[in-house]
């Protein structure tokens, strides 16, 4: 019978904490850039001009239908050679996950904007607002509220996806666990602690998302998926 | 931007790519079959009346939905063999991680699908003398699966994308072979671009199929 011993792993708790911080850093960066870029992509895709809507649709489909790990490798190993720039693992991860989550957020924004009744547009235009004004003042505020559950679900997916950066040697939580397992020869405890750490953080986020969703459902607004 | 694209160096290694494609497809087929079959069991267990069945199934779903797949694969590859008297191979570790993860997600799809069927269907099936198992198999599931089809094809797409994670434990699949080709021929641009295009070509038809099923379902319901 194997004797569990977490002491050698917990002796490196500082490494794990630094790893968790780096995980949150990548997630936060990709979330902020991804939402802004996602809104831009969604507006381009909803545009009436094909010259704007087709390239946006292409970017969205490509990033939704190729595996994130392939994208990460492309941005880390191939892009620096194409563009002649230096790429740190953090930059590669932030770029990949920003664009990838932008593609998913764009679809959420699009569904949200499309779910707002036509009458809202027409009324805003009738009282003399321009299209951008109507979008900013009337449509988006209503759409955003409906998008919140889908948005939070996506953010949680994003955090799970960031574990991929460990494969390009960025010191996130998973990478720290791998490091500790090699130093202490205790892979079972090291990876179990990492799995539990992820579970605690992500489960808390999921529970918060569920609570918000129930609250929104109680306030009587429909939500989009 | 003066790069001269040279895909010939990638195509020279078509045997390596074919071996990778075979590895990807093998892993995909195993995970799809196991993930959906286990998912159905989990979905049924979560709608069971007895708390002894319902609660463990719920815990399983919560745990596997709320931890990253890559962590699960590495756990099965590096940590599980310590508890077991035998080795866990690369294919087995990757298949375990991805299958159990998809079982948790598809379990929720099955549960939602089964719950969406009107209680009258149950009552009708029971009234004409079917056992609960018969009612489930002959009446409820055929209707539920039709409604779940878009969500299930979506899951299949996700599983296909997840197979790339097996490259983290050096299982021979497409991305792993792309990495090999890139390191042999110093052509990461072409190698990774080719891999991305291959995945896009495999998954694009599935994505279109999902859109089509979603539209048809929206029309018929």
| Ordered DSSP codes for A149-176 | HHHHHHHHHHHHHGGGGGGGT---HHHH
Cβ-defined contact of B74 to A191 (cutoff 8 Å): yes
Is the pLDDT assigned to residue B7 strictly greater than 60? yes
B-chain residue closest to A59, CA distance: B200
With bands split at pLDDT 50, 70 and 90, how would you rate the model's confidence at A222?
low
pLDDT in tens, A127-167: 999 988 999 999 999 998 888 888 988 999 999 999 999 99
Lowest pLDDT segment from B52-56, B59-63, B71-75, B213-217: B213-217
B-chain residue closest to A72, CA distance: B192
Cβ-defined contact of B193 to A160 (cutoff 8 Å): no
Q: What is the CATH number of the domain that holds B75?
A: 1.10.3720.10
CA distance A138 to chain B (A): 28
* Mean pLDDT for chain A overall: 91
A-chain residue closest to B166, CA distance: A69
* Mean pLDDT for chain B overall: 92
How would you class A218 by CB atoms within 10 Å of its CB: exposed for 0-12, middle for 13-18, buried for 19 or more?
exposed
| Confidence at residue A220, expressed as pLDDT on a 0 to 100 scale | 64
With bands split at pLDDT 50, 70 and 90, how would you rate the model's confidence at A185?
confident
Assess contact for A109 and A38: CB atoms under 8 A: yes
| Confidence at residue A216, expressed as pLDDT on a 0 to 100 scale | 83
CA distance A96 to chain B (A): 13
Considering CB atoms only, which of B164, B168, B203 is closest to A65? B203
Cβ-defined contact of A81 to B182 (cutoff 8 Å): no
Considering CB atoms only, which of B69, B164, B192 is closest to A78? B192
CA distance B125 to chain A (A): 33
Q: Confirm whether B155 is domain-assigned.
A: yes
Number of domains in chain A: 1
Mean pLDDT of B132-138: 92
Is the pLDDT assigned to residue B196 strictly greater than 90? yes
Q: Confirm whether A223 is domain-assigned.
A: no
Percent of chain A with pLDDT over 90: 67
Q: Confirm whether A190 is domain-assigned.
A: yes
Assess contact for A190 and A178: CB atoms under 8 A: yes
Lowest pLDDT segment from A67-76, B32-41, B211-220: B211-220
Cβ-defined contact of B75 to A195 (cutoff 8 Å): yes
End-to-end CA separation in angstroms for chain A: 47
Is the pLDDT assigned to residue A85 strictly greater than 90? no
Q: Confirm whether A2 is domain-assigned.
A: no
Partner A contacted by B83 (CB < 8 A)? yes
For residue A135, what are the contacts with CB-CB under 8 A and spacing of at least 6? A43, A113
Percent of chain B with pLDDT over 70: 99
Mean pLDDT of B55-60: 95
Cβ-defined contact of B63 to A192 (cutoff 8 Å): no
> Looking at beta carbons, which residues of chain A come within 8 Å of B97?
none
Cβ-defined contact of A66 to B199 (cutoff 8 Å): yes
Cβ-defined contact of B78 to A62 (cutoff 8 Å): no
Distance CA B151, CA B8 (A): 39
Structure tokens at B118: 């009107």
Q: Confirm whether A55 is domain-assigned.
A: yes
Distance CA A158, CA A156 (A): 5
Q: Domain containing B89: what range?
A: 25-174
| Confidence at residue B12, expressed as pLDDT on a 0 to 100 scale | 84
Cβ-defined contact of B1 to A68 (cutoff 8 Å): no
Quote the DSSP letter at residue B139: I
With bands split at pLDDT 50, 70 and 90, how would you rate the model's confidence at A219?
confident
Q: Confirm whether B79 is domain-assigned.
A: yes
B-chain residue closest to A200, CA distance: B66
Q: Confirm whether B150 is domain-assigned.
A: yes
Per the model's pLDDT, the better-predicted residue between B3 and A89 turns out to be A89
> Looking at beta carbons, which residues of chain B come within 8 Å of A161?
68
Considering CB atoms only, which of B66, B68, B78 is closest to A206? B66
Is the pLDDT assigned to residue B177 strictly greater than 90? yes
Distance CA A121, CA A30 (A): 31
Q: How many CB pairs under 8 A join A and B?
A: 117
CA distance A131 to chain B (A): 29
ipTM of the prediction: 0.87
DSSP B95-138: HHHHHHHHHHHHHHHHHHHHHTS-HHHHHHHHHTT--HHHHIII
Is the pLDDT assigned to residue A173 strictly greater than 90? yes
Percent of chain B with pLDDT over 90: 76
Distance CA A203, CA A214 (A): 16
CA distance A158 to chain B (A): 10
> Looking at beta carbons, which residues of chain A come within 8 Å of B198?
none
Site of tokens 């969205």: A60
| Confidence at residue B32, expressed as pLDDT on a 0 to 100 scale | 97
Structure tokens at A59: 């970017």
Residue B165: count of CB within 10 angstroms of its CB:
28
Assess contact for A45 and B183: CB atoms under 8 A: no
Q: What is the CATH number of the domain that holds A27?
A: 1.10.3720.10
pLDDT in tens, B61-103: 999 999 999 999 999 999 999 898 888 999 999 999 999 999 9
Is the pLDDT assigned to residue A224 strictly greater than 90? no
B-chain residue closest to A176, CA distance: B71
Partner A contacted by B204 (CB < 8 A)? yes
Assess contact for A13 and A80: CB atoms under 8 A: no
Number of domains in chain B: 1
Is the pLDDT assigned to residue A41 strictly greater than 60? yes
The length of chain B, given as a count of residues: 221
DSSP A88-144: -HHHHHHHHHHHHHHHHHHHHHHHHHHHS-HHHHHHHHHTT--HHHHIIIIIHHHHH
Per the model's pLDDT, the better-predicted residue between B160 and B8 turns out to be B160
With bands split at pLDDT 50, 70 and 90, how would you rate the model's confidence at A223?
low
With bands split at pLDDT 50, 70 and 90, how would you rate the model's confidence at B16?
very high
Per the model's pLDDT, the better-predicted residue between B125 and B47 turns out to be B125
Residue B175: count of CB within 10 angstroms of its CB:
28
Partner A contacted by B4 (CB < 8 A)? no
CA distance B95 to chain A (A): 17
Distance CA A104, CA A83 (A): 26
Q: Confirm whether A225 is domain-assigned.
A: no
Angle at A93 between CA A92 and CA A98, to 5 degrees: 105
pLDDT in tens, B182-195: 998 888 889 999 99
| Confidence at residue A20, expressed as pLDDT on a 0 to 100 scale | 94
With bands split at pLDDT 50, 70 and 90, how would you rate the model's confidence at A221?
low
| Confidence at residue A3, expressed as pLDDT on a 0 to 100 scale | 80
């Amino acid at each position: 019978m194997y004797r569990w011993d977490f002491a050698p792993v917990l002796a490196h708790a500082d490494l794990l904490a630094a790893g968790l911080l780096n995980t949150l850093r990548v997630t936060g960066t990709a979330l902020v850039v991804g939402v802004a870029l996602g809104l831009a992509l969604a507006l381009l895709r909803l545009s009436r001009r094909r010259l704007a809507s087709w390239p946006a649709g292409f970017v969205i489909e490509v990033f939704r239908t190729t595996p994130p790990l392939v994208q990460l490798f492309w941005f880390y190993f191939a892009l620096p050679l194409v563009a002649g720039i230096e790429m740190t693992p953090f930059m590669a991860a932030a770029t990949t996950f920003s664009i990838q989550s932008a593609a998913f957020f764009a679809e959420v924004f699009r569904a949200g904007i499309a779910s707002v009744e036509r009458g809202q547009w027409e009324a805003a235009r009738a009282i003399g607002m321009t299209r951008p004004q109507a979008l900013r003042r009337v449509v988006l505020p209503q759409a955003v509220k409906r998008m919140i559950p889908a948005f939070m679900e996506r953010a949680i997916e994003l955090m799970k996806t960031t574990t991929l950066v460990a494969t390009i040697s960025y010191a996130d939580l998973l990478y720290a666990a791998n490091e500790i397992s090699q130093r202490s020869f205790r892979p079972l405890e090291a990876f179990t602690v990492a799995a539990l750490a992820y579970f605690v953080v992500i489960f808390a986020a999921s529970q918060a998302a569920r609570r918000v969703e129930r609250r929104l459902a109680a306030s009587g607004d429909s939500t989009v998926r | 931007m003066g790069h001269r694209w040279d895909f010939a160096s990638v195509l020279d290694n078509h045997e390596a790519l074919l071996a990778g494609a075979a590895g990807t497809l093998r892993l995909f087929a195993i995970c799809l079959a196991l993930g959906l079959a286990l998912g159905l069991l989990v979905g049924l267990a979560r709608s069971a009346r007895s708390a002894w069945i319902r609660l463990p199934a719920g815990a399983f779903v919560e745990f596997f939905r709320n931890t990253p797949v890559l962590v699960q694969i590495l756990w099965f590859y590096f940590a599980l063999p310590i508890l077991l008297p035998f080795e866990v191979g690369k294919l087995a570790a990757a298949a375990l991680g991805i299958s159990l993860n998809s079982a948790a997600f598809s379990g929720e799809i099955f549960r939602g699908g089964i719950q969406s069927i009107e209680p009258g269907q149950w009552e009708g099936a029971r009234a004409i003398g079917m056992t609960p198992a018969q009612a489930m198999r002959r009446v409820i599931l055929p209707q539920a699966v039709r409604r779940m089809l878009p969500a299930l094809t979506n899951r299949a797409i996700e599983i296909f994308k997840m197979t790339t994670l097996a490259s983290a434990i050096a299982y021979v699949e497409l991305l792993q072979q792309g990495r090999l080709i890139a390191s042999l021929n110093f052509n990461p641009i072409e190698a990774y671009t080719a891999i991305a295009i291959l995945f896009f070509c495999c998954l694009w038809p599935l994505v279109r199929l999902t859109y089509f099923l979603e539209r048809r379902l929206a029309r018929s319901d």
